[in-house]
């Protein structure tokens, strides 16, 4: 398996180098140049547990890792850090199935990839004989930050720096990050939004002079964001696992097509589902759910990507994004690998804040359905799902369910079994969830956690119970235009 850039030909690399570099030499993203196929019967694969399936899928993408290296990475990632034996349980509610991706240490779907990425990196660095300290530079809209910090804390030879919008994450998300232990961890709140942080991180990766100076000082940059192919590939596994779960429960027949609904901002999570479809998983429609920052909805429906709009801070903060980095990878694939087009689109986006794809690319978006949920609809959906389905969901999953209902109303596709990516524990967004269910939230977040548990008869996750007692260790903040200087200060440059 060889990886190339979305923006130019040649410079092809193996998976270990793509994982360490994070972003390609030309600012593009690494993509697999050939998508492997599922070459075993689904009826046979359904007998595998999560770790066995992960080995089967990851071996197709990380071909320069030997079997034992992959097995070690998988076993170190998917162990008792997860509070459910299945790793990814699926809750059935009629034709809808909620694939719970939040049973890891930070209670969000990011754990599925970020518990294994540090092990990929350690293995890759050894393979490439890298003796420099790897600096993980990451922007987060809430969940990636904590999951990355948890995964890389105290990993030898690695330092991690996380930037987050200090007024754009939930109180629980913020507390998870600023209490993170580990001598190699650094957390900085910025006065801007996620896009500001993400753009600054991308610029740093593309600054050759800065990277050369870093190299001279014994450092090498990499990323834990979903721009890193090592983040994206493990996410493919859980969509295939979710399908096999339905097969095992006789919810579907072998080769029966399902819909998959994903709440997404940076497009990485739904792109992994698209890769699963390209590998041969029977998927009917990929339903892309957005909040009021509905740039992906507009793009899917018009072919125009335009960031010249108001940025909104919502109750589903992990989706408060206007520049969806992983869309670049999709565009590469559906443009028939036309890197010149992709480079042109990205230049238009950088210079004018907008680009429009041609008719052939618009046609190739047919696998996707896009819609969005308003803030009011998000609250109403949490309440309705609780009352009608006896199930508690976080605001991101609520966005997904609301958009799924819109899809049914618009298409009358009532019969296709559907898998909804449930991306975070409701206890990460307690204020929103409790307000939606009960209407009262005049308490601090930790009191609301106890109240939500009492009202819904759901046990509070252990990591949340411990959070209130943890000492705040990271108090640094910076202006949005001062991120590079902050990195220099942290690294002592």
Indicate which residues carry an active-site annotation. Answer: 110
The Cα–Cα gap between 465 and 431 comes to: 16
Contact 328, 269 (CB under 8 A): no
CA torsion sign for 269, 270, 276, 281 is positive
Give the end-to-end CA distance of the chain in Å, rounded to a whole number: 37
By three-state DSSP, how is residue 162 classified? strand
How far CA 278 is from CA of 175, 335, 446, in Å, comes to 39, 15, 43
- The whole-angstrom separation of Cα 251 and Cα 249 is 5
d(C-alpha 472, C-alpha 83), whole Å: 25
Count the helix, strand and coil residues of the chain and give each as a percent rounded to the nearest 5.
Answer: 45, 15, 35
Residues in the chain: 493
Q: How far apart are CA 365 and CA 256, in angstroms?
A: 22
Task: Name the 3-class secondary structure at 113.
Answer: helix
What is d(CA 324, CA 341) in angstroms, rounded to the nearest whole number?
Answer: 17
Nearest Cα to 162, choosing from 223, 219, 230?
223
Distance of CA 466 to the CA centre of its chain: 25
**Coil, strand, or helix at residue 156?**
coil
Under 8 Å between Cβ of 139 and 200: yes
- Of 204, 199, 422, the C-alpha closest to 321 is 199
Contact by Cβ (8 Å): 452, 427: yes
Contacts for 436 with CB less than 8 Å, ≥ 6 apart: 378, 379, 380, 382, 383, 386, 398
């Amino acid at each position: 398996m060889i990886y190339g850039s979305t923006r130019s030909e040649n410079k092809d690399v193996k998976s270990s180098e793509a994982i360490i570099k994070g972003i390609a030499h030309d600012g593009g993203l690494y993509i697999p140049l050939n998508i492997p196929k599922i070459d075993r019967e689904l009826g046979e694969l359904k007998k595998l547990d999560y770790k066995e399936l992960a080995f089967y899928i990851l071996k197709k993408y990380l071909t320069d890792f030997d079997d034992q290296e992959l097995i070690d990475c998988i076993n170190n990632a998917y162990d008792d850090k997860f509070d459910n034996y299945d790793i990814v349980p699926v809750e059935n509610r009629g034709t809808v199935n909620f694939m719970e991706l939040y049973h890891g240490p930070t209670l969000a779907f990011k754990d599925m990839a970020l518990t294994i990425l540090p092990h990929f990196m350690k293995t890759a660095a050894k393979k490439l004989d890298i003796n420099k300290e790897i600096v993980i530079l990451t922007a987060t809209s809430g969940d990636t930050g904590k999951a990355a910090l948890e995964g890389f804390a105290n990993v030898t030879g690695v330092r991690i720096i996380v930037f987050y919008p200090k007024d754009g994450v939930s109180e629980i998300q913020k507390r998870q990050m600023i209490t993170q232990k580990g001598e190699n961890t650094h957390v900085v709140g910025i006065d801007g939004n996620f896009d500001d942080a993400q753009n600054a991180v991308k610029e740093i990766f593309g600054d050759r002079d800065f990277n050369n100076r870093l190299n001279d000082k014994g450092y090498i940059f990499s990323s834990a964001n979903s721009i890193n192919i090592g983040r994206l590939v493990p996410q493919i596994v859980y969509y295939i696992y979710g399908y096999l779960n339905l097969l095992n429960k006789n919810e579907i027949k072998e080769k029966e097509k399902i819909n998959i609904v994903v709440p997404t901002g940076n497009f990485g999570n739904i792109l992994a589902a698209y890769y699963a479809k390209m590998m041969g998983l029977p998927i009917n429609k990929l339903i892309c759910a957005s909040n009021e920052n509905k740039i992906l909805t507009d793009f899917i429906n018009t072919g125009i990507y335009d960031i010249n709009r108001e940025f909104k801070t919502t109750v589903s903060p992990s989706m408060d994004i206007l520049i969806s980095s992983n869309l670049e990878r999709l565009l590469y694939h559906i443009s028939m690998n036309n890197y010149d087009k992709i480079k042109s689109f990205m230049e238009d986006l950088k210079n004018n804040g907008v680009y429009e794809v041609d008719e052939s690319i618009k046609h190739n978006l047919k696998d996707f359905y896009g819609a969005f949920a308003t803030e009011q609809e998000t609250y109403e959906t949490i309440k309705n799902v609780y009352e009608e389905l006896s199930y508690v969901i976080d605001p991101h999953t609520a966005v997904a369910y609301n958009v799924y209902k819109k899809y049914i109303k618009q298409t009358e596709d009532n019969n296709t079994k559907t898998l909804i990516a449930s991306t975070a524990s409701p206890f990460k967004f307690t204020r929103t969830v409790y307000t939606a269910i009960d209407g009262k939230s005049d308490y601090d977040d930790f009191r609301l956690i106890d109240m939500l548990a009492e009202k819904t008869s759901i046990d509070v996750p252990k990591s949340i119970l411990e959070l209130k007692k943890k000492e705040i260790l990271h108090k640094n903040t910076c202006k949005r235009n001062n991120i590079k200087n902050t990195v220099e200060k942290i690294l002592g440059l």
